[in-house]
Structure 1
Amino acid sequence: MQPRLTDPAALARNRQRARPDALFLFEAARDDLQDRLTLVNRSFTAPAVVTGQPQIWDNALPGATIVADCETLALAPQAHDLVLHSHALHWAEDPVGQLIQCRRALRPDGFFLASLFGGRTLQELRASLASAEAEVTGGLSPRVAPMAEIRDMGGLLQRAGFALPVADAFTLTVTYASALHLMRDLRAMGEGNALDARLRRPTRRAVLLRAAEIYAETHADAEGRIPASFEILVLTGWAPDESQPQPLRPGSAKARLADALATRETKLID
Structure 2
Amino acid sequence: MSRNPRAPTSRGVNHDIFDRTARRHRRDRAVPGYRAHDFLRAAMLDGIADRLAIVTRGFDAILDLGCFDSGFAAPPDARVVRCDAGLGFARAAGGVQADEDRLPFADGAFDLVVSAGVLDQVNDLPGALALARRALKPDGLFLAAFVGAGSLPRLRAALREAEPEPPTARIHPQIDVRSAGDLLVRAGFALPVADVETLDVGYSDLGRLLGDLRGMAATNLLRNRAPLSATTLAAAAAAFAAQADRDGRIRERFDIVFLTGWAPDPSQPKPAKRGSAGASLAAALGKRE
TM-score of the superposition, structure 1-length normalised? Answer: 0.85
2:184 pairs with 1:157: yes
- Counting only pairs closer than 5 Å after superposition, residues 73-84 of structure 1 correspond to structure 2 as 73-84=103-114
Please give the per-residue CA displacement for 1:191-226, whole angstroms capped at 9, x wherever unaligned: 111111101xx4111211211222222x21111111
Query: Which one of 19, 22, 30 corresponds to residue 7 of structure 1?
Result: 19
Shift of residue 75, structure 1, vs aligned partner: 2.0
- Which residue number corresponds to residue 168 of structure 1? 195
Deviating 4+ runs (over 6 angstroms): none
**Equivalent residue, structure 2, for 1:66:** 82
Q: Which amino acid is the alignment partner of residue 102 of structure 2?
A: T
Matched, 1:188 2:218: no
Aligned to 2:50, the other structure's residue is in SS state: helix
Task: Note if contact 2:190-2:271 (Cα within 8 Å) is conserved in structure 1.
Answer: no
Paired with 1:60 and 1:14, the residues of 2 have a C-alpha distance of: 26
CA distance in 2, matches of 1:211, 1:54: 30
Q: Point out the structure with max Rg over C-alpha.
A: 1
Q: Confirm or deny: 8 A CA contact 1:27 1:56 kept in the other structure.
A: no
Cα distance, 1:2 vs. partner?
4.5
What do the CA deviations read for 1:217-270 (whole angstroms, capped 9, x no partner)?
Answer: 2x2111111111111000001111111111599xxxxxxxxxxxxxxxxxxxxx
Q: Percent identity?
A: 40
Q: Which residue of 2 aligns with 1:56?
A: 70
CA distance in 2, matches of 1:127, 1:193: 16
Distance in 2 between residues matched to 1:94 and 1:232, nearest whole Å? 20
CA contact (8 A) 2:191 2:271 kept: no
Alignment partners' CA distance in 2, 1:194 and 1:162:
29
| Unmatched runs of 5 consecutive residues or more in structure 2 | 1-12, 86-98, 274-289
Change in 2 beyond 3 A, CA 1:43/1:60: closer
Aligned positions of 1:1-270 closer than 5 A = 1-18=13-30, 19=33, 20-51=35-66, 53-57=67-71, 60=74, 62=76, 63-69=79-85, 70=99, 71-134=101-164, 138-199=165-226, 202-217=227-242, 219-246=243-270
Shift of 1:130: 1.8
Question: What TM-score do you get using the length of structure 2 for normalisation?
Answer: 0.79
Which amino acid in structure 1 is aligned with residue 168 of structure 2?
S
Q: 1:2 to 1:16 in 2, by over 3 A?
A: closer
Bigger CA drift: 163-172 or 119-128?
Answer: 119-128
Kept after mapping to 1: 8 A contact 2:18/2:223:
yes
The aligned amino acid for 2:18 is T
Q: Is the 8 A contact 2:45 2:72 kept in 1?
A: no
Q: Please give the alpha-carbon distance, in whole angstroms, between the structure 1 residues aligned to 2:145 and 2:133.
A: 15
Q: Give the Cα separation in 2 of the matches to 1:181 and 1:54.
A: 21
